[in-house]
Amino acid sequence: DGGITQSPKYLFRKEGQNVTLSCEQNLNHDAMYWYRQDPGQGLRLIYYSQIVNDFQKGDIAEGYSVSREKKESFPLTVTSAQKNPTAFYLCASSPEQGAYYGYTFGSGTRLTVV
Amino acid sequence: AQTVTQSQPEMSVQEAETVTLSCTYDTSENNYYLFWYKQPPSRQMILVIRQEAYKQQNATENRFSVNFQKAAKSFSLKISDSQLGDTAMYFCAFMKDNAGNMLTFGGGTRLMVKP
């Protein structure tokens, strides 16, 4: 079955550490997105990529980095520069032509700073 | 920039009754798309219903329907015959036409369906 896989489901980070969240899709979608979800604030866009080797900052990109070396993969690194990283992170994808049919989402990663 | 506002942080409804969730948005665009997503306790985001702004007819998907008022920039979701499985967070979202395909989300409404 086609879909998006996010791993790990739960992730704990120590102060000052970088951590990488994985997002893999087998839907042959061109575009991929990372959102952060905090209580009461809905989903906010961190980064997005519409094509391999290209990506753009979203509304809250500071303290995060991404790469898009393969169409299937769009990992997100939460760097030590992100001062409040505890949140739920959602990855999504869509076809470049047809995103207006909606995104497909992964099941999310819960990141906690310890 | 587009903004999406959901003014009801929490709502509850009795099983089998009807409930309406509100959403307003702000945009200067004429062509765009609107969505309602459901996030149950599993936190998996599920597309409930979508609406093209150029269509006057309101979208319907089984027990879910929308009331799209373009001039008022309003996009409410009506759930009929509410079921326990409808308990979830509901997010309204906006997408411009031909502009990078980004979704802008509202803050969400937590819906509790009571037996």
| Contact residues on chain A for B97, CB-CB shorter than 8 A | 100
**CB within 8 Å: B102 and A33:** yes
Q: What is the pLDDT of residues B79-92, one digit of tens each?
A: 999 999 999 999 99
CA B90 to chain centre: 7
Q: How confident is the model at residue B99 (pLDDT cuts 50, 70, 90)?
A: low
CA–CA dist A76, B92 (Å, integer): 25
Of A99, A105, A108, the CB nearest to B95: A99
Of B35, B97, B101, the CB nearest to A31: B101
Mean pLDDT of chain B: 94
| pLDDT at residue number A77 | 97
Exposure letters A10-21 (e unless 16+ CB within 10 A, then b): ebebeeeeebeb
**CB within 8 Å: B45 and A58:** no
Q: What is the pLDDT of residues B16-71, one digit of tens each?
A: 999 999 999 999 988 999 999 999 999 999 999 999 999 989 999 999 999 999 99
Q: How confident is the model at residue B72 (pLDDT cuts 50, 70, 90)?
A: very high
- B30, HSE (Cβ side, Cα atoms, 13 Å): 0
Question: Is A77 in contact with A18 (CB distance < 8 Å)?
Answer: yes
| Contact residues on chain A for B59, CB-CB shorter than 8 A | none
The helix/strand count (H/E) of chain A reads as 0, 11
Q: What is the pLDDT of residues A65-108, one digit of tens each?
A: 999 999 999 999 999 888 899 999 999 999 877 777 789 999 99
| Contact residues on chain B for A35, CB-CB shorter than 8 A | 105
Exposure letters A62-101 (e unless 16+ CB within 10 A, then b): eebbbebeebbebbbebeeebeebebbbbbbbbbeeebbe
**Could you count the other beta carbons within 10 Å of the beta carbon of residue B114?**
11
CA B71 to chain centre: 17
